[in-house]
Structure 1
């Protein structure tokens, strides 16, 4: 029970006791003071009787008032005890809820950690499934018309990049545009998704594209700039794209850099290599 409420109940009992005691004392003091008020002379019996009747009436009125106050105090004390019981019960329930909330919070944090780990594993599995894929940007819409995207790219890739093959073709499993509405004539063409039959062929094509595009002149086909990229999951691509502004600054500063899997920036400055896990981490390093 809260200390303040206990103190109020105790104080109520004290007031009740004091009221009863005051009533008795008032009656006794009135009777005892009668001889002193009349001096040494003996009071007339009739007068004494009148005084005693008046004193009795006063005592009766005081007793009635005290009884009413006593009943009120008893009623309040009962109500306070009921309220104390309810408050104690509420405090116990709140404490139980707080304990349950702490346990639920701990479980939620654990589940969030497990969910993040699972999401990272799923993303890694998806990226591993795309290891033999590349994205080709810049190929105009319709260049693959006729023979189809698969046959066109099997012959076009080695010819365009100068990759040596046994039959003049690179074996592909699938090739198609990204699943988006066909753009207009002045809009950027949709990327071409290519899946190789052999992982080595995919690596050979990417290496040839890097070598061909490492000079001052970009790769061009039909007056359109062509770019080759490793295919990644949507989440990994979003994270890697977050470094675009950083890469632009590094190119302007002439600093060598590379993007590591899945989305980490590696720069070499003054012969020292540094790796950054996010664009914010890189910006913080600049001070």
Structure 2
């Protein structure tokens, strides 16, 4: 009887050992599959990021000749916005006098605000030549602040980028303000890179954190509210 019991126990132990091995094999298989799934997901995520970057770059290129005009009072452009701009650009930006700028199209853009908002919608226009866009933005920085004389409102000119690139550039505004308030002149390079010169050395920051770390290492001056001074920051075009 004792021998029979031992044989029974041995058989049960062997069954348990087999079951345990099968369980380990299944766990190993699941872990291997999970590892492969993670690898596939990582590759897909990388591909999505690459495709997103490519689409963003293509959209930015399609907007290469566009200029955003902020602050223009509602309706002053009348029924011929392109003609209105041709007649007034050199008045707002003296550097454009004598330059025959060809404007392909111009229109207001919907930005999500309520129709009864007091702030006028952004005005976007497209010039025929990239060199003219460059001249407009450069001249606007030199002529800052531009005024629309009839209502004495400030006009601001900006490059036009895709929503993704615009969001990245907007995220740098607090850092650009701090750098400008410290007496430095930052330059914002496409797509969203800060470049400046300090003590004769050219410095480049590809993230706001790196720029913040640099600012923290400098003697801190009193920082005044910049208002619209952000428009004085040099933008790549």
Alpha-carbon separation, structure 2, partners of 1:276 and 1:193: 29
Q: Which runs of 5+ in 1 are unaligned?
A: 1-66
Instruction: Give the structure 2 partner of residue 210 of structure 1.
Output: 141
- Taking structure 2 as the reference length, the TM-score comes to 0.81
Asked whether the 8 Å contact 1:266–1:276 carries over to 2, the reply is yes
Aligned position for 2:173: 244
Cα deviation code 1:151-190 (max 9, x no counterpart): 3223222332232347xx63222211112355436x3221
Equivalent residue in structure 2 for 1:84, among 8, 17, 21 = 17
Q: Distance in 2 between matches of 1:231 and 1:140?
A: 19
Residue 270 in structure 1 maps to residue 202 in structure 2: no
Tell me the matched-pair count.
212
Q: For residues 193 and 115 of structure 2, what CA distance do their matches in structure 1 show?
A: 32
Provide the residue aligned with 1:193 in structure 2.
Answer: 124
Find the aligned partners of 1:123 and 1:143 in 2 and give their Cα distance: 33
Which of 138, 146, 150 is matched with 1:219 structurally?
Answer: 146
**Superposition pairs of residues 112-127 of structure 1, within 5 angstroms:** 112-127=45-60
Match of 2:102 among 171, 181, 194: 171
Say which structure is richer in helix.
1
Show the 5 A alignment for 1:139-154: 139-145=72-78, 147-154=79-86
How large is the Cα RMSD of the aligned pairs? 2.0
Counterpart-to-counterpart distance in 2, 1:183 and 1:267 = 40
Q: Counterparts of 1:70 and 1:175 in 2: how far apart (Å)?
A: 99
Greater mean alpha carbon deviation, residues 192-201 or residues 231-240: 192-201
What is residue 190 of structure 2 aligned with on the other side?
Answer: 261
Q: Could you give the per-residue CA deviations for residues 88-120 of structure 1, whole angstroms, max 9, x where no partner exists?
A: 111111112222222222232222223222222
Residue 31 (structure 2) pairs with residue 98 (structure 1): yes
Structure 2 CA distance for partners of 1:268 and 1:183, relative to 1, 3 Å: farther
Q: Deviations over 1:216-250 (max 9, x none)?
A: xx111122111101111111111111111111112
Q: Is the 8 A contact 2:71 2:120 kept in 1?
A: yes
User: C-alpha offsets along residues 249-274 of structure 1, whole Å, 9 cap, x if unaligned?
Assistant: 12221112110111000111112110
Contact persistence 2:67–2:159 (CA under 8 A): yes
Within 2, Cα distance between the matches of 1:281 and 1:273?
Answer: 14
**Which one has a bigger Cα radius of gyration?**
1
- For each residue in 1:26-61, what CA deviation from the matched residue of structure 2 results, as whole angstroms up to 9, or x when unmatched? xxxxxxxxxxxxxxxxxxxxxxxxxxxxxxxxxxxx
| Structure 2: gaps of 5 or more residues | 218-237
Higher relative CO (Cα under 8 Å, sequence separation at least 6) belongs to: 2
Measured after TM superposition, the shift of residue 72 of structure 1 is: 4.1
User: How far, CA to CA, are the matches of 1:265 and 1:271 in structure 2?
Assistant: 16
CA spacing shift, 1:220–1:183, aligned 2, 3 Å: farther
What's the TM-score once normalised by structure 1's chain length? 0.68
Question: Where does residue 211 of structure 2 map in the other structure?
Answer: 282
